[in-house]
Amino acid sequence: MVKRKKVYETLPKKKRFSKKKISIGILGFIVVLGLAVTLFVNGYINKSLPTTEGTVELSILEKEVTVITDEDGVPHIQADNARDLYIAQGYIQADRRMFQMELSRRQASGTLSEVVGEDAVNQDKYFRTLGLRRAAEESYEVYADESIEVLEAFADGVNAYMEEAKESNSLPIEFTLMDFEPEEWTPVDSLTIGKFMAFDLGGHWEQQAFNYYLLNKYDAEKAYELFPAYPENRPTIIQEDELDIAASFENAVIPHPFNGSNNWVVSGDKTASGMPLLADDPHLGLATPSIWLQMHLESHDGLNVGGVIFAGVPGIILGHNDQIAWGVTNTGPDVQQLYIEKRNPDNPNEFLYEDEWEEAVMIEEPIKVKDAETIAYEVTETRHGPIVSEFAEDTGAETVLSLRWTALDPSTELEAIMEMNRAADWEEFEEGLEKFLVPAQNFVFASNDGTIAFKANGKIPVYEDGKDALLPLNGWEAENEWQDFIPFDELPSVVNPEKGFIATANNKVDPDDYPYHISNVWAQPYRYERIAEVLESGDDFTIEEMQDLQMDQTDLRAREFVPLFQDVLADEALTEQEQDAVQLLADWDFVMDKDAPQPLIFERWMREIQNHIYRQEIPGTMRGLFSTQSQATENLLRTAFHGEDSIWIEENGGLEEVLANSLKTTVEKLTEEHGEDMSAWTWGDYHQVQFNHPLSGISPFLAFFFNREDALPVGGSGVTPMAASYHSETGEVDHGASWRFVIDTNDMHAGYHIVGPGQDGHFKSEWYQNQMSDWVEGNYHETRLDETSGLELTLTPEE
């Protein structure tokens, strides 16, 4: 057999190639190519970094504007006039957050499918049905000329950035990855984002739907046990089984059950400086970039205001100027009402009202879908509002649910913000509040004249004749219409109370003798009770102590229930591990410390109690509408602890069996997940914060770039002042203090802030996720309104 020689062996020796030389050559080529690609990609990505130095020409400006970015990434914008100021604010916001602004307006408008594809269709249908953008368009028509000029100037600034970025091919990399470019920004886009925040904080229609389900599914007494407020007038079932609630709302977008906050003001009688202190930390979704952008706006006409604003909106919504400071929590009033509508079997576009058929408004909302055909979609609006129980498709059912909601009416929040930004005292500030209609918020206020004040502000409907928003109402009866709204001058309000402080934490704010109904659903009282406990205990409070209180991890729910659990199980036959778990809880100080095992045991135990009670009877789709699940469970436990009958507890074997079985499951699962050594378990092994970028879930590759920092163990819980709610399956902290702010009115120019995870939306910016550890540890940065240093950018008219 002839042995074949390799090709290179047949060449003369001087022309033979060495394998080693070939390998080195290929490797070198790959290295050079990789380096070139890296440099090209890096250069391309760097082009979209925020501009913080130099000069940028903007022909739309009248005069030069200075933007100084301080060491924490906060832009301080100084302009000669209001128009230039808001042009610059629009430009700077877009430069730092254009992709976030684009997603926000698309989500609120129901146009995500255009850039995401079919996965977003159901979500788009839902937001098209609600009609946030339609409501924003109607609101624009009632704004005063001065406010429209602000909106237009801001939009001009955003569009100036977009035009420049498109010409220089320097849009954020996310646009390249998703293969689209943003379209022109309009004033209605800003108002639509505002309406979306009303959606996020707006009401509790899902609880009405769940209550309706309960009364259809169970006998009245069993159903009432899970109502958020036990009804005195005992509402009755309206009709049997004509609505499949679970199917109707399967694709509904449900906001976090308690998008709440903490805020408080302390009078000078109880502070070390002798002047009021104010603290505010709004609790919203935690992601990258932050929902807030901190800015400082200053113009020569007397405006000097700093704080935070939603990306895509002009002004400062929360913060302070050089005379006053303010903060908010969500009031959580019943501003959403479901109506049961009877459809004409002979004409699906007509609905019964006072024995006559009324024509509904049919709105064409075609949905463009990336890489697919446009979907012909139609929204039906009755006299009460859009039909929401069949947004996914027209079922043809003769009974449907419509939604009446204050946020779908025209409203003027931007005008309120403009007036609040310039207010000099409580009287001027309250005057501005009259224009802040949705969402209804608990405003706290402090000023350098020593005033502290509170007002539960917004458009809150009046429920008459015992109707109190527990159930859907008959839409065909005129007596069920909202009659009016609580008069502005009669909204709950307090000025300079004798006790020396005012605090709110989404708790019940109206006194028992208040003549109007506000809400059936208040947050659990634990955060408020802990804040009040601390504020009642001292008289010389400082900025640092207010910061410590915002970071306080004491869990009063655990303080209430752990001793009760121990008493009930004292005579139960527990395994050694279960006994160890109970003993650990007995030795606990009820602080949700990330390095302690007790928070992990207690939180899992509470979750397993809920699962034990509800899992077999309430399907998962309905539990998604059960927004008051925690409160209902706690009420059931209290009822049983006090020796009273609870149907849900008794049907699950009684209190001892519920607690013992759920403890058993808790210990078994935690042992499987964290090992046999219970003392080595820590809350932070499970309870961690990441601040995920919206594109990071697509692939590990994108997660590597967009989630620059590793997840961090963190303390607290959903009911501690340091709010840190988490996804029950993963432990990821995804809801909490989106911004922390403290100010001593003795120095109105100095505010102390944490904006988690950072200021910028560009993943290569030094201010992208630089405040993640600050958020976990409570490290605040000072921002001043009178002294500013940092990187200087000049925006100048074209010469």
The whole-angstrom separation of Cα 134 and Cα 110 is 11
Give φ, ψ of 276 to 5 degrees: -60, 145
The whole-angstrom separation of Cα 10 and Cα 307 is 78
Half-sphere exposure of 765 (CA within 13 A, CB side): 30
- CA 739 to chain CA centroid, Å, is 11
The whole-angstrom separation of Cα 215 and Cα 340 is 15
- CA 181 to chain CA centroid, Å, is 26
The whole-angstrom separation of Cα 37 and Cα 287 is 30
Element (H, E) at 705: helix 700-706
Closest by Cα among 545, 259, 618, 321 to 446: 321
Residue ranges of the binding site: 334
| Residues counted in the chain | 799
Q: What is the DSSP letter of 169?
A: T
List of residues 6+ apart from 172 with CB closer than 8 A: 48, 98, 99, 761, 762
Q: Is 279 helix (H, G, I), strand (E, B) or coil?
A: strand
Q: What DSSP assignment string belongs to 61-123? A: -SS-EEEEE-TTS-EEEEESSHHHHHHHHHHHHHHHHHHHHHHHHHHHHT-THHHH-GGGHHH
Residue ranges of the binding site for Ca(2+): 334
The whole-angstrom separation of Cα 351 and Cα 400 is 10
Token pair for 205:
């229609």
Give φ, ψ of 264 to 5 degrees: -160, 160
* 354-to-114, 358, 398, 479 alpha-carbon distances in Å: 42, 9, 17, 10
Token pair for 796:
């100048």
554 strand-pairing partners: 591
Q: At what angle do helices 629-641 and 598-614 cross, to 10 degrees?
A: 90
Residue from 170, 261, 402, 696 carrying the catalytic annotation: 261
Q: Is 427 helix (H, G, I), strand (E, B) or coil?
A: helix
Token pair for 636:
């059931």
- CA 48 to chain CA centroid, Å, is 27
Dihedral (CA of 573, 578, 579, 582) sign: negative
| Region of residue 409 (left: phi > 0; alpha: psi -120 to 50; beta: else) | beta
Active site annotation includes 261? yes
The whole-angstrom separation of Cα 136 and Cα 170 is 30
472 strand-pairing partners: none
Give φ, ψ of 478 to 5 degrees: -60, -30
What's at 63, amino acid-wise? K
Query: What is the 3-class SS of 227-253, one letter each residue?
Result: CCCCCCCCCCCCCCCCCCHHHHCCCCC
Q: Are 777 and 716 in contact (CB under 8 A)?
A: no
Q: What separation, in Å, do the N-terminal and C-terminal C-alpha atoms of the chain show?
A: 86
Token pair for 182:
């943003």
Q: Count Cβ atoms within 10 A of the Cβ of residue 15 and give its class: 0-12 exposed, 13-18 middle, 19 or more buried.
A: exposed
Element (H, E) at 399: strand 399-405
* Other CB atoms within 10 Å distance of the CB of residue 63: 13
What's at 425, amino acid-wise? D
Token pair for 747:
């120095």
The catalytic residues are 261
